[in-house]
Amino acid sequence: MTLEERISAFTKLGKYLHAIDEVEFQVLLEKVRNENPWFTEESLLLSLNGLHNYLDDGRLRRWKSNYSFSIGASKVVALIMAGNIPLVGFHDLLCILITGNCAQIKQSSKDSILIPFVTEKLIQLEPRFSDRIKFVDRLTDFDAVIATGSDNSSRYFQYYFGKYPHIIRQNRTSIAILTGTETDDELRALAEDAFSYFGLGCRNVSKLYVPEGYMFSKLFEQWQHRENIIHHHKYCNNYDYQKSIMLVNRIPFLDNGFVMLTESARLVSPISVIYYEYYKDLSSLKENLENLKTKIQCMVGKVSPATIPFGQAQSPELWDYADQIDTVKFLSELN
């Protein structure tokens, strides 16, 4: 397959996912929810919409124009996927296939339905992909590795796969910088960055940096439209548990009935909790965040060093690489 043929196939896949039949979607949703209750209709629609945005002919061509794709033998890339949000490993798979390589996929047990569903549709549209995608329980005979997991599993990955060309990703999270001058619409959009996928993704905002004396009442008011999140039983269980822990330990917190805010220097908050930290001035905050950059995926806000507008954390472009590691460059250099 030529690069043009691969781009054409993925463009067709994007159009298919955008116009997926309602009956087929509901059957898929039922399977997905039975496997992982966190994967709700809202989450699945959000992830499929993200794929549709990725798989746009214009975007794909703009993306590939940044690279020189060498003509060489295909490499087999072991792909160890996470399962925290629906289809979270698709971008890595896309990078492997668009560069002309082959994917040997070890899925997460939390998301074992969606990637096979999408790849099956891709192969129907372009059968020559069938010998480039393989799902396995045990990884063997590969040339490189892309693995995503926790800080603990990354040490395991490094031990076993460190001798191969590799990208090994650890835990990351996202933060938002507030100045107190945000509009109602901006604060409302921030709720999408915080609550999409129940806050389970690395692009979800789990920490707020706010100026000294910041009042949270306006923030809570603009987040009220997300109150239905508390009706999800797993989220509610986490909310009740975290609230009990803070009450027992006498940790001060703010509560609006579906999310709690508590002051902390830590970055990664539990589900249903968002940390906040005060800053004196933006220059000192920028210095602080520079020291934490290896643990931060996105910085949301309208002042530097934030680079993602409010409400856009879950809408990355093809060239917005996880951990700021250029996956296509890595894969292209394997040849």
Read off the pLDDT of residues 177-202 as tens digits, 9 standing for 90 and up: 999 999 999 999 999 999 999 999 99
pLDDT per position as a tens digit, 114-158: 999 999 999 999 999 999 999 999 999 999 999 998 888 888 999
50-67 tens-digit pLDDT? 999 999 999 999 999 999
DSSP tag of 254? E
Provide the pLDDT for residue 149. 86
The average confidence (pLDDT) of the chain is: 96
Q: What pLDDT sits at residue 71?
A: 64
> Residue 201, SS3?
coil
For residue 152, what pLDDT is reported?
85
Q: Residue 70: pLDDT above 80?
A: no
What is the set of domains in the chain, with CATH numbers?
A: 3-171 (3.40.605.10), 173-300 (3.40.309.10)
Instruction: Average the pLDDT over 1-12 and give the result.
Output: 95
| Nearest Cα residue to 144 out of 116, 168, 178, 172 | 168
pTM of the model: 0.95
Q: CA gyration radius for the chain?
A: 21
Query: 62 is written with which tokens?
Result: 């703009």
Query: Which tens digits make up the pLDDT trace of 308-324?
Result: 999 999 999 999 999 99
Cis peptide upstream of residue 305 (ω within 30 degrees of 0) = yes
Answer whether residue 232 shows pLDDT above 70.
yes
Which candidate, 82, 90, 78, places its Cα nearest to that of 17?
90
5-22: average pLDDT: 96
